[in-house]
Amino acid sequence: MTTRTLLCMLIVLLPGGILSAQEPAAAQMEFYTQEWTGPRLPDGRPKVSDGLLQRLKAVSIEEAWGYLRNKGYHNQFAGDWEMLHEDQPFVGRALTVQYLPLRPEYAERFTEKGQAEGRIGAMNSWPIDMLQPGDVYVADGMGKIIDGTLIGDNLGNAIFAKTGTGVVFDAGARDLEGLSEIEGFNAYVRGWDPTFLRETMLGGINIPIRIGTAVVFPGDAVLAKREGVIFIPAHLVEELVINAEFVMLRDAFGISRLKAGVYTPGQIDGRWSDAIKDDFLGWLDENPDLLPMSRTELDAFMKQRNW
């Protein structure tokens, strides 16, 4: 590990460093996510496109989980959530935050430093100031619910105004009634409690964190659905989405042909013959409106798979 890399890691881990050393923090972000070759946000996080995120929203948790497991990523899913709206999935780019048990002199020192450098309010409001459209505020709050409520309806409104998405907190939240009135906002939390945040301090922003059994990197694509939340490394999102869309197209074709009595279940569920493949390609030509991707993307995908 180079001296520069070690210095960058220390800067990112300390809240004070986040305030005054954005360039090294962005460089460290690239170290975490060097597989990503696309555009980045000003803070250094990978910027998965809005269009790709919207396509990701149609992917099931099972499809995403299976793809990631085949790629060797076994620790990307977290379940067992209390949801503000069970029927309201959302997607976005992770802005990660770590919270720690309170250490008084540390918290006081960095609160003073942050306020001197322009930060407003308590530490738990600082990540909100950094949010961008399409972000998801993902926080490791140590699973703390009582005295671990990271937001109420005021901060919830501020978050949604900036992101248009929601939050994933391994912690609690308060003001359930007020938060539920924010149209379009959703929250995945460990529990609801009327207490305020106490004995907790900021540990780091935009660093790798743990959410349940999942590891989350800044810039990961977040797919939050009723089953739970899965965090997808940015460099795998495009291939995962196209793979899932291809499976959905195959399934739609198979169901249509089974209903028409053209093929048997064994023919559709097994390895397709060349005749079935040709029929599938013809079906795609007849139903271009069913394609969630461009035909060029689909053809390239099938060619890559030697399909």
pLDDT at residue number 2: 47
pLDDT at 267 > cutoff 50: yes
Read off the tokens for 215: 């590891």
Q: What are the tens digits of pLDDT across the range 45-60? A: 999 999 999 999 999 9
pLDDT value, residue 158: 97
Which of the residue ranges 5-14, 85-94, 105-114, 157-166 would you say has the lowest mean pLDDT?
Answer: 5-14
Per-residue pLDDT, averaged over 26-52, amounts to: 93
Q: Which residues neighbour 215 within 8 Å (Cβ) at sequence distance 6 or greater?
A: 75, 76, 208, 209, 231
pLDDT of residue 21: 33
Average pLDDT over residues 282-294: 93
Q: Is the pLDDT of residue 22 over 90?
A: no
Q: What are phi and psi of 209, to 5 degrees?
A: -135, 170
- Counting residues of the chain whose pLDDT is more than 70, the rounded percentage is 92
Find the mean pLDDT for residues 249-261: 96
Annotate 179-241 with three-state secondary structure: HHCCCCCEEEECEECCCCCCCEEEEEECCCEEECCEEECCCCEEEEECCEEEEECHHHHHHHH
**pLDDT of 110 over the 50 cut:** yes
**Overall average pLDDT of the 246-270 stretch:** 96
User: What pLDDT, on the 0 to 100 scale, is given for residue 208?
Assistant: 95
Position 198 pLDDT exceeds 60: yes
Region 24-44: mean pLDDT is 88
Residue 286: pLDDT over 50: yes
pLDDT at 17 over 70: no
Helix 22-32, helix 3-13: angle, nearest 10: 110
Predicted TM-score (pTM) of the model is 0.87
Average pLDDT over all residues of the chain: 91
136 and 167 in contact (C-beta within 8 Å)?
A: yes
First to last CA, the chain: 42
Domains detected in the chain: 46-233 (3.50.30.40), 237-304 (no CATH)
Q: Is the pLDDT of residue 15 over 80?
A: no
Q: What is the mean pLDDT of residues 9-26?
A: 46
CA dist., res. 145 & res. 125, Å (int): 18
Q: Are strands 221-225 and 214-216 parallel, antiparallel or unpaired?
A: unpaired
Q: Determine the pLDDT at residue 40.
A: 96
pLDDT digits (tens, 9 = 90+) for 201-224: 999 999 999 999 999 999 999 999
Instruction: Give one DSSP letter per residue of the chain, joined into a string.
Output: --HHHHHHHHHHHSHHHHHH-HHHHHHHHHHHTTT--S-B-TTS-B---HHHHHHHTTS-HHHHHHHHHHTT--S-EE---EES-TT--EEEEEEEEEEEE--HHHHHHHHHHHHHTT--SSGGGHHHHH--TTEEEEEEEEEEEEEEE---HHHHHHHHHHHSSEEEEEEEE--HHHHHTSTT-EEEESEE-SPPP-SEEEEEESS-EEETTEEE-TTPEEEEETTEEEEE-GGGHHHHHHHHHHHHHHHHHHHHHHHTTSS-HHHHHSPPPHHHHHHHHHHHHH-GGG-SS-HHHHHHHHHHTT-
Contact, 219 vs 172, CB < 8 A?
A: no
Model confidence at 19: pLDDT above 80: no
